[in-house]
Chain A
Amino acid sequence: MTKPNTELHNLTIAELHSGLQQKQFSSHELTEHFLQRIAQLDTELNCFISVDAERALMLADEADQRLANGDTADLLGIPIAQKDIFCTRGMRTSCGSKMLDNFIPPYDATVIARMQQAGAVMLGKTNMDEFAMGSSNETSYYGPVKNPWNTNTVPGGSSGGSAAAVAARLAPAATGTDTGGSIRQPAALCGITGLKPTYGRVSRYGMIAFASSLDQGGPMTRSAADAAVLLNTMVGHDPLDSTSAHAECSDFTKQLPKSIKGLRIGLPKEYFDQRLNTAMADKVHEALQQLTALGAELVDIELPNSALSVPAYYVIAPAEASSNLSRFDGVRYGYRCENPTDLEDMYTRTRSEGFGDEVKRRILVGAYALSAGYYDAYYRKAQQIRRLIKEDFVKAFEKVDVIAGPTSPSPAFALGAKQSDPVEMYLEDIYTIAVNLAGLPGMSIPAGFIDEMPVGLQLVGNYFDESTILNTAHQYQQVTDWHQRSPID
């Protein structure tokens, strides 16, 4: 029997999987349902840069064929939204930039290829800050995404389109990338679950580079259980990415049901100091109380160098970006200025016209930090600080299994509110950036509301121990229903 279509967008990945396997509905029906929701709701929300309905339905039909043949692949027939930073063969991949507005990749990112193998149906490509540089989605060439909880506020960034799409039930799940918080902060601001894996877990091949030593792709879902299923498909060594880790990838859903009795949760005193506003602190403490009720123990810890993470990040990330973005020169793909007079003019005008303001600022900061005479004072210094930050975490994980705290300093802010001061915007990622610098896995889960806007609890795990944070998140989600709240019916 077919379930009423109105319910399809509220089903979990596991429910969708079993519904498809038991032929309660087809992938075609399911995909059409989400495409209809996108058509209905996305004009206002602006979550998607590209939706190719024909292609999506074709993929759905292929999935239905595989289902008919008895294939039971994890994501078979399930529609997924992909961040527009992952190259998709034959489908425009813009990275939120005018520079790549006409770019149709000749190959698939490894993440895309693996999802396709697992049977996922790509619904479309989601909006994002230009080249993933931003914490509000306002730097996108395609206009800002609106937060579905209040369309006058930002969804966070840079994976804001993915976060808002999952929150508004325009897709059952999505992918994101996280260089300084770009999965976790929008997940927090939109009230969803987002996980940044350990650096090296998910292949960066075909994921347009921002800061290569920090970038990491991950799942953005409604629950930890859904995230574990997506993660299973996304991870694994990839010879096409030289920084891909040779780490064991066990089934991430396995540890979900485990009790968290005796789990040691570290609370960094630096994350709970006077800078954290009271309302946010209250929400985090409420969540921690629930975790202790489940048997977890709270342990006070210190991350003494955490205040330096934002300064170090804003040298390292722009430096790597200025190097990575030098490839956009108007020669091989992407935008080229009109009627260049010579090569130099072509490079300069292509880049000046193709990049937005924030991207140009970061290129300049990076180029300056790497330039002769400043390298030691900035870049080398930042890399030294980076080691101190990592060592703080290594020491903390001798005493605890998980580190918890807020994901962002506050809930979603109004569109335009932080655009005039780059530093204020950068401080949005004050709790997330250190995790990227150290290369650890981190996630954000919904932990309540402040003035009807969602807030996130951040859980940080030890290297390659995504299972423990997923387990903690899942157990929390068994006793809370924040993750089931929806801004739109």
Chain B
Amino acid sequence: MTISKEQIIQTAKLARVKLNDNEMDDITQRLSSILELVDQMQAVDTSAVEPMANSLDAVQILRTDQVDEPADKIARRNELLEGAPACEDGLFLVPRVID
């Protein structure tokens, strides 16, 4: 299966990645060769095979839904916000969403 330039642009949009025009040819070629590699899978009949998401076939473990908060919530919040590119009044700050 080959991938077209349009498909790449569409996928990049979905993945929130912007590609420059001068990157396009290179990436189209590289992605095509990767897809060529993965297409080797199509030669095998797997119609009777159950897909495997976890190598131990483990099931999702659930825990009790209980509040688990640090003693000093404000201090912890401030610590978590320290790494944020922008914050204000204990909240993450992002560009205006609604005019």
Contacts and interface: CB of A to CB of B under 8 A. Distances in A.
Q: Are A and B part of the same complex?
A: yes
Contact of A360 (B17, B39, B49, B56): B17
Contact of B95 (A346, A386, A463): A346
A315 interface: yes
A307 B11 contact: no
B41 A422 contact: no
A199 B58 CA distance: 11
A373 to B, nearest CB: 10
B40 to A, nearest CB: 5
Contacts of A213: 53-55
A117 interface: no
A346 B94 contact: yes
Contacts of A315: 38, 41
Contacts, number: 168
A439 to B, nearest CB: 3
B27 A199 contact: no
B41 A367 contact: no
Nearest to B49: A384
Nearest to A365: B34
Interface in B11-35: 11-12, 14-19, 27, 30-31, 33-35
Contact of B27 (A307, A341, A348, A364): A364
B49 A387 contact: yes
Interface in A308-362: 308, 310-312, 314-315, 322, 326, 329-336, 340-349, 351-352, 355, 360-361
Contacts of A344: 16
A384 B15 CA distance: 25
B61 A242 contact: yes
Interface in A437-453: 437-440
A484 B73 CA distance: 51
Given A213-B54, A438-B55, A364 B94 contact: no
A380 interface: yes
Nearest to A366: B15
Q: How large is the interface on B (under 10, 10 to 19, 20 to 34, 35 or more residues)?
A: 35 or more
B3 A368 contact: yes
A421 interface: yes
Given A351-B16, A438-B55, A239 B63 contact: yes
B37 A390 contact: no
A388 B46 CA distance: 9
Contacts of A310: 37
A77 interface: no
Interface in A384-408: 384-388, 390
B46 A385 contact: yes
B72 to A, nearest CB: 13
Nearest to B15: A367
Contacts of B38: 311-312, 314-315, 369, 378, 382
Contact of A343 (B8, B42, B94): B94
A5 B52 CA distance: 52
A478 B95 CA distance: 62
A201 B27 CA distance: 37
Contacts of A385: 41, 44, 46, 49
A332 B83 contact: yes
A363 interface: yes
Contacts of B36: 423
A355 B16 CA distance: 11
Contacts of B96: 342
Interface of B: 1, 3, 7-8, 11-12, 14-19, 27, 30-31, 33-42, 44, 46, 49-56, 58, 60-61, 63, 76, 79-80, 82-86, 92, 94-97
Shortest Cβ-Cβ A-B pairs, 7 listed: A439-B55, A383-B51, A336-B85, A384-B46, A387-B52, A333-B83, A384-B49
Interface of A: 102-106, 199-200, 213, 239, 242-243, 245, 305, 307-308, 310-312, 314-315, 322, 326, 329-336, 340-349, 351-352, 355, 360-361, 363-365, 367-369, 371, 377-378, 380-388, 390, 421-423, 426, 437-440, 463
Given A334-B85, A365-B34, A439-B54, 6 more contacts: A104-B83, A243-B54, A368-B3, A377-B42, A386-B51, A388-B49
28 contacts: A102-B83, A105-B83, A106-B80, A213-B54, A245-B56, A310-B37, A312-B41, A331-B85, A331-B92, A332-B83, A332-B84, A340-B95, A343-B95, A351-B16, A351-B17, A361-B30, A363-B15, A364-B17, A364-B27, A365-B31, A368-B31, A382-B38, A384-B46, A386-B52, A387-B52, A422-B34, A423-B34, A423-B36
